[in-house]
Amino acid sequence: MSINLEKNKKLILFDGVCNLCDASVQYVIKHDKNDVFRYTALQSEIGQAVLEKFTIDTTKTDSILLYSPQNGISYKSTAALKIASKLGFPRNVLAIFLIVPAFIRNWVYDYIAKNRYQWYGKKEECMIPTKELKSKFL
């Protein structure tokens, strides 16, 4: 399966059953004033195709990925900060943390990711987008 993404768009892949991930996607949708992002759950057919294409081990990275045809795939804190960089002021200022070495950023990220179900809960199934948002989901 190929990844059909509109020109100049980036694809956010998220854990579709995670309440924190779902809330984060809703936040990005609300603040994505330039319509940069498209979305799909890691559990979806497209999500699985991306995981396979980039040989991603979901036991090591299972919460958020950012894909763009030009730049390939970004993981963990790098993905989150690159997403924030496209959301306008003041959220885009968070991108300054990209200067912090990834192993430090990812330690914090992994701690939150490891505990996200316990802290925020888990859904039985992936979110179903509203009619208005359907065009943003692959």
Radius of gyration of the chain (CA): 14
Encode pLDDT of 75-118 as tens digits.
Answer: 999 999 999 999 999 999 999 999 999 999 999 999 998 899 89
**Chain centroid to CA 117:** 16
Residue 15: its pLDDT value, please?
87
Residue 70 to residue 127: CA distance in whole angstroms = 28
What would the two tokens of residue 28 be? 């990005």
pLDDT the model gives residue 16? 84
Q: Which residue in 50, 65, 55, 48 sits closest to 13, CA to CA?
A: 65
According to the per-residue pLDDT averaged within each range, which of 17-21, 64-68, 69-73, 134-138 is highest?
64-68
How many residues does this entry show for the chain?
138
pLDDT at 137: 83
State the pTM of this model. Answer: 0.88
Q: Let me know: does 20 contact 62? Beta carbons within 8 Å.
A: no
Q: What is the pLDDT of residues 3-48, one digit of tens each?
A: 778 888 999 999 888 889 889 999 999 999 999 999 998 888 888 8
Containing 82, the helix (H) or strand (E) segment is: helix 76-84
Rounded to the nearest angstrom, the gap between the alpha carbon of residue 39 and the centroid of all alpha carbons in its chain is 8
